[in-house]
A and B are shown apart, each in its own frame.
Chain A
């Protein structure tokens, strides 16, 4: 069975600063990897996903993530955050059969 770890439950960062949200997973088979964002009182929205090919994946709103197989990581990055990026971010992994979400990281962007 696979699992997802998001080590940081909360990440405060100042506006226009860079941010990295960490995600590590464990799985015995090849996986697909996803990042979803949840704005207050809204449903989850896909930011980006890795299925195959280039390990650097670009998503919406200026976010990108890099798949590192040897470190079993899929960290999310943005070079300059905005106040509007304040939300909960969920990493998820799928082995093609099961879909498992991490516990989430709350990103708070401060003025």
Chain B
């Protein structure tokens, strides 16, 4: 079956531009996570959805970051008024059930965002 997919794979934005990053999780997966991975570092948690409900957004770095999953499947991470420090790889992961931190997370290939 298909894994987690993300689009676009690469995005170049001018500072101040808004961007939208899409994640298609594995079909039937209840949980969905977004991470930010800066160059040379491990992924850092941004936000977590259980179906359509955003249960944890404690990792979002500022109010310019917004995520949604309106129908409990596809999710979009939106960054408004992008800044150079937003340049990173944005990873999406999904897991099957509700045991949020115990289950295996399946990761997409990421979207590499470069803000000029």
Interface residues of chain A, those whose CB is within 8 Å of chain B, are 4, 32, 36, 41-46, 49, 51, 90, 92, 94-104
Asked if A46 and B104 make an inter-chain contact with CB atoms under 8 angstroms apart, the answer reads: yes
With known contacts A43-B107, A43-B110, A45-B107, A103–B102 Cβ distance under 8 A: no
- Chain A's interface: helix, strand, loop or mixed, by majority? strand
B: residues with CB less than 8 A from A are 3-4, 33, 35, 40-45, 91, 93, 100-102, 104-110
A101-B104 in contact given A43-B4, A43-B91, A43-B109 (Cβ < 8 Å): no
> In the complex the two chains form, is A100's CB within 8 Å of B4's CB?
no
Most chain A CB inside 10 Å of its own CB: which residue of B4, B40, B105: B105
- Chain A, residue nearest B108 (CB): A43
A-B contacts, 8 listed (Cβ < 8 Å): A43-B107, A46-B106, A90-B42, A99-B33, A100-B45, A101-B44, A102-B42, A103-B42
* Residue in chain B with minimal CB distance to A51: B102
Residues of B within 8 A of A100 (CB): 45
Partner of A46 from B35, B42, B45, B105 at Cβ < 8 Å: B105
Kindly list 16 other residue pairs between chains A and B, CB separation below 8 angstroms, not including A43-B107, A44-B107, A102-B42.
A4-B42, A32-B102, A41-B109, A43-B3, A43-B91, A43-B93, A43-B106, A94-B102, A96-B102, A97-B101, A98-B101, A99-B33, A101-B42, A101-B43, A103-B41, A104-B41
